[in-house]
Amino acid sequence: MQLRLEKRPEPSKLLQVVTPVAAVLLTMVLGAVAFSALGYDGLGAVREIFISPLAISYKWQDLAVKAAPLIIIAVGLSIAYRANVWNIGAEGQYIVGAICGTGIGILTNDMTGWWIMPLMMLAGAAGGAAYAAVPALLRVRFNVNEILTTLMLTYASVYLLNYLLAGPFKSPTSMGQPQTVLMSAEQTLPYIIPGTIVQLNAPIAIVVALAVWLVFSRFVFGFQIRVVGSAPHAARYGGFSADRTIWLAMLISGGLAGFAGILEVMGPVGRLILQFPANYGFTAIIVAFLGRLHPLGAILAGIMIAITFVGGEMAQITIALPFAAVGIFQAMMLFLILASDLLVRYRIRVVRPGEVPA
């Protein structure tokens, strides 16, 4: 008896939905075993990291706050990755978006008007898109690998932030600390559920995911990205331009990352600070893959990863589990989901001895 892989004509729809759930469940089982073997409270770790944030209602607001930026960035990355454009510098675009939006915020800090918030958001998205346009241009014009340019520009963006906070953006009332002024009430996203910390960015994240999904599945432009991504040569014959796809993929993913950045400033962070870069841009890459590069999947995956972060902190407080454990759980989850990809695309067939393979 022998196992054989057979390519499915169409990726299995059912398994696309089932495998991420299975991956999470398997992570919980393996994690409990592994951490028990290491001498930690394995079951407690799984309970705190995966169950408590859901079971305790006052943690839901934290999940919303943590998941919102992850979802917005991951939606953009899903589009880019489907087009085979490997933007791994969303972190940098997130930072530059926040910088541009905050620039408007500083200029309008003592003004009032309905236009201020939309303008800041627009500047954020534009900043992120512009920062992603550099690698896009280099890829299209000079065929420079975008994986490395996006990453290098992420490092550069951190120093840009440091520079601005040390001088041009520094608040006059910050007692010398490298931070901007606090965003005014006119520049702060409203709280949507009274008595909680959930701000407008949470519903915005859902709307962004839905809108992108709609555009992606219903309109030609989405089709273009799909075709070019899966078969560049076919796309060229079909009249689609590979260059245009790269541009679109980079601008959309960069723009959404920048948008997420300014929403954080207008939301939970409240101002630009040195510690603003919170790895959302990198974490969103996991979210995108966990969500199977699907905008709606990104919503669920974003919440899932938020659960592990929030739960990881709780585990540190309640059972003194080192926070590093969260990284191990996340990596395990991602490994399993990537491994299960095979099952989506291939069928495992048992070939009996003597049987002629089909």
With CB under 8 A as the contact rule, the residue among 331, 348, 349, 355 that binds another protein is 331
Instruction: Choose, by CB under 8 A, the member of 1, 37, 159, 220 that binds another protein.
Output: 159
Instruction: Out of 220, 324, 350, 356, name the contact with another protein by CB under 8 A.
Output: 324
State yes or no: residue 56 binds another protein (CB under 8 A): yes
Q: Which is nearer to another protein, 117 or 305 (CB)?
A: 305
Cβ atoms within 10 A of the Cβ of 252, count?
28
User: Shortest distance, CB of residue 118 to another protein, whole angstroms?
Assistant: 23
Specify the stretch interacting with another protein by CB under 8 A; choose among 15-23, 102-110, 177-185, 348-356.
177-185
CA 342 to chain centre: 23
Among 276, 281, 294, 305, indicate the residue that binds another protein (CB under 8 A).
Answer: 276
273 binds another protein (CB under 8 A): yes
Comparing CB distances to another protein, the nearer of 48 and 108 is 48
Q: Which of 61, 109, 184, 241 binds another protein (CB under 8 A)?
A: 61
Cα-Cα end-to-end distance for the chain: 15
Residues in 204-223 that interact with another protein by CB under 8 A = none
Number of Cβ atoms within 10 Å of the Cβ of 251: 20
Given the rule CB under 8 A, which of 8-16, 121-129, 228-236, 268-276 is the region that contacts another protein? Answer: 268-276
User: Which residues share a beta bridge with 7?
Assistant: 346
Residue among 107 and 331 whose Cβ is closer to another protein? 331
Helix (H) or strand (E) holding 3: strand 2-7
- What is 75-90 written as a DSSP string? HHHHHHHHTT-----H
Which residue reads 């398994």 in tokens?
A: 15
What residues have CB less than 8 Å from 40, skipping those under 6 apart?
Answer: 321, 325
By CB atoms closer than 10 A (0-12, 13-18, 19+), residue 43 is middle
Residue in this structure with the two tokens 């006059």, named with its chain if needed: 172
Q: Does 314 bind another protein (CB under 8 A)?
A: yes
Choices 20-28, 105-113, 120-128, 312-320 (CB under 8 A): range interacting with another protein: 312-320
CB 96 within 8 A of CB 160: yes
CA dist list (Å): 115 to 108, 121, 187, 256: 10, 10, 10, 20
| Touching another protein, residues 123-142 (CB under 8 A) | 138, 142
| 41 near another protein, judged by CB under 8 A | no
Q: Does position 175 bind another protein by CB under 8 A?
A: yes
Strand partners, 199: 191
Q: Does 338 bind another protein (CB under 8 A)?
A: yes
* Residue 33 binds another protein (CB under 8 A): no
Among positions 147, 210, 242, 296, the unique one binding another protein when judged by CB under 8 A: 147
β-partners of residue 62 are: none
Q: How far apart are CA 188 and CA 264, in angstroms?
A: 10
Interface with another protein, residue 231, by CB under 8 A: no
Pick from 306, 279, 307, 302: nearest CA to 291: 302
Size of the site for another protein (CB under 8 A): 80
Which stretch in 52-60, 111-119, 209-217, 228-236 sits in contact with another protein by CB under 8 A? 52-60
Q: Which is nearer to another protein, 186 or 341 (CB)?
A: 341
From the CB of 178, what's the least distance to another protein, in Å? 7
* Cβ-contact 281, 91 below 8 angstroms: yes
**Binding residue for another protein, selected from 196, 210, 227, 244, defined by CB under 8 A:** 196
